[in-house]
Amino acid sequence: MNYPLTGACQCGSVRYQLLSEPKMIVACHCKECQKLSTSAFSITALVNTDQIRFQGEMKEWRRTADSGNINGAMFCPTCGNRIYHFNPDEPDTLKLKPASLTDTRLIKPVAHVWVSEKQDWYQIPEGVAVYDKQP
């Protein structure tokens, strides 16, 4: 892949440039991620905060996870597309929702977490790390 990669929300009001390869790509099957992705699981690219540049206004929503961690979510106020998540106690990393990338070939999860809550019909591919809950 040739960096930087570009991405945008569905309406195009929020745009970003990803400057280098994510640290890791993870699929999460927890019920919260099913809700936020409106799908069977969500995909997250763990990115160094200084390796991504955003343009456009975003809104923020926070919830407290079972672990006690704060989950911050940034989304486009016009189309509602989720752009990234973050933990305010770990400011060096953000959790990009990489389906908004222009070139989505990057999106191959190396780990699947919370498979204890996954949809029965979805089969985990071979060769990936699998965790019942959060590792």
Residue 108, C-beta contacts closer than 8 angstroms, at least 6 positions apart: 25
x-or-dash pattern for Zn ion, window 51-90, by CB under 5 A? -------------------------x-xx-----------
3-class SS at 122? coil
Shortest reach from residue 16's CB to Zn ion, in Å = 12
Torsional sign, CA 109, 111, 113, 115:
positive
- Taking the least distance from each CB to Zn ion, the nearer of 19 and 131 is 131
The H or E element spanning position 32 is: helix 31-37
Total binding residues toward Zn ion, as defined by CB under 5 A: 9
Structural tokens at position 64 = 């407290």
Residue 70, C-beta contacts closer than 8 angstroms, at least 6 positions apart: 62, 63, 64, 87, 88, 89
State yes or no: residue 94 binds Zn ion (CB under 5 A).
no
Shortest reach from residue 104's CB to Zn ion, in Å = 17
State yes or no: residue 129 binds Zn ion (CB under 5 A).
no
Question: Binding to Zn ion (CB under 5 A): which residues in 12-31?
Answer: 13, 28, 30
- Taking the least distance from each CB to Zn ion, the nearer of 43 and 76 is 76
- Taking the least distance from each CB to Zn ion, the nearer of 79 and 128 is 79
What are the b/e assignments for 91-102, b being 16+ CB within 10 Å?
A: eebbbbbbbbbe
Which residues bind to Zn ion, rule: CB under 5 A? Answer: 9, 11, 13, 28, 30, 33, 76, 78-79
